[in-house]
Amino acid sequence: MDCGGKFLKFLVFFFNAIVFIGGGVMGGYGIYLLVEAKQAAGSVSIVLPAFITTFGLLLFTIGFLGCFGACYNNTCMLKTFAAIVGFLLICEVICAIILLVYRHDFVDLVGNELKKTISSIESGQLDSKDALVENLYKMQEEVSCGNYLKDFLA
């Protein structure tokens, strides 16, 4: 193998090793969040931790295929890696087009969900023991922006 081929092999290995490690960390953190969400009571949803776990494990798998496929010149691993990355690229382009076409509906949807959450806080439907409220208090203390949430709950 010439110098350019070795360099390309090293680059593929290096960048996929980063994806492999990052995916493992992200998957582990997602699993931790899933365990914490199941232990917490109240309005804590497990959708986001499940998404983080799934995405992290997908990155872990893709990084594994690319990293070890490049390291051992395994064509099956590299072809599987290329197929998965190609499929994800196509999905990403489709999602971007859908978001561009329906961007006003998306903004309205997010705005309506935020308004519902704020109105549930203002109306007192959430008590101070709720996990969402506790996390909002913690966030406000960390950034030193006061306790405006107490004004809503009062």
Residue 98 half-sphere exposure, CB side, CA atoms within 13 Å? 7
Among 59-63, 117-121, 128-132, the range with the most confident prediction by mean pLDDT is 59-63
Query: What digits encode the pLDDT tens for the residues 11-25?
Result: 989 999 999 999 999
- For the stretch 18-42, what's the b/e string if a residue is b when 16 or more beta carbons lie within 10 angstroms of its beta carbon? ebbeebbebbeebbebbeebeeeee
- Measured CA to CA, the distance from residue 68 to residue 17 in angstroms comes to 9
Q: How many CB atoms are located within 10 Å of the residue 84 CB?
A: 15
CA count, 13 A, side-chain hemisphere, 5: 4
Q: Where are the beta strands (DSSP E) in 32-133?
A: none
Chain segment 47-80, per-residue pLDDT in tens:
888 889 999 999 999 999 999 999 898 999 999 9
> What are the extents of the domains in the chain?
1-86, 102-154
